[in-house]
Amino acid sequence: MDRLRSFLASLRALLALGVAHGVVPSAGSQVLDPERRAWQRALEEGTPEAFQAYLDAYPLGRYATEAFRELIARTLGARTAPVPPAEPTEAAPPPSGLLY
C-alpha cells in the first residue's frame, strides 16, 4: 500500500512538472479532437471529395450539416452564402367572406 501511495505521489509530481513546463497539455488547452481535425482538413482542402470524406467518417457529426451544404455547393460549382434564419412574420388575416 505504501508503494502504491509513493508511486501515485511521484506520478502526480511528474504530471504537475510536465504541465508547468508545457510538456503535458493541461485540461484547458485547445487540443483538437479527431472530428474537429477532419473538419479543418475538409475546409482547408475545400473540395467536394474532402467534404464527402468528412461525411463518410462522421455522418452525424457536429459539422455534418455544414459539410453537406458545402458538398452540394461545391459539386454544383458555386459556393452559396449561409442561409440566415427566417425572421418571424405576422400572418395576414384571411379575406372576409371568401373562405371557400
pLDDT of 42: 96
Helix pair angle (64-76, 34-45), 10° resolution: 20
Name the residue with cell 451544404.
69
Cβ–Cβ under 8 Å, residues 69 and 50: no
Say if residues 67 and 55 touch (Cβ distance below 8 Å): yes
Over its length of 100 residues, how does the chain's per-residue pLDDT go in tens digits?
677 666 656 657 666 656 455 555 555 556 679 999 999 999 999 999 999 999 999 999 999 999 999 999 998 885 555 556 666 666 666 666 665 5
Q: What is the structure's pLDDT at 98?
A: 61
